[in-house]
Amino acid sequence: MRRIVAVFNCRKGLTYPLTVAIALAIIIISCAAFEYMRLMIIAQGVRNAVQSAIISVAVENYNDVYAHSRGGHSAGFANDGSGFNEQLSLGDIYGRLEEHLGLRHESGQRVKYAGDVVEFRLSDLNVNVTNMPFAPSDRDNEGKFSADATIQLEVPLSFGWSHLPPLRIDLKLKAGYTAKF
């Protein structure tokens, strides 16, 4: 009986389990931090690519907007003989995203693969082009030609062994046309 009590009272090697527990805690916290950074890098890259595609829509409307900006307006209108009518183009944003990001079209979503694993999914693109009014009466509070977009980004998590749901973010972006001269 004394030997058993002596074994329990012995303090040799007590720091080994504590050291292992601290090392495991540091590894788990580091994995979570690296996963957060991975998600933010993916979201920033997608946001930049969508922003670039929206800017290209604003640039595609340059011909329709520029002639009126020379006359003091930055709006997309064309004279078709019966009067001035709005003339805008939404362009092919998904096509540009597929080209820049290497996306594949799958069941209404655009999917980016890293090898055989899904890196992220894009869906629900909504683009709204806002035209400045033709010949505004209040030049100080006039709007400008702009394109607003929202898109849903879904990134599956690699941390948590598929027990955690994927990250879903609605990215909201805006691009506008401003005449230099």
Q: What is the pLDDT of residues 35-87, one digit of tens each?
A: 899 999 999 999 998 888 887 776 776 655 545 544 444 455 555 666 555 65
* CA 157/CA 118 separation, integer angstroms: 10
Residue at token pair 């890196």: 119
pLDDT of residue 74: 47
Bridge partners of 106, per DSSP, are: 109
* CA 45/CA 24 separation, integer angstroms: 32
Q: Where are the domains of the chain?
A: 2-61+88-176
Indicate the pTM of the whole model: 0.70
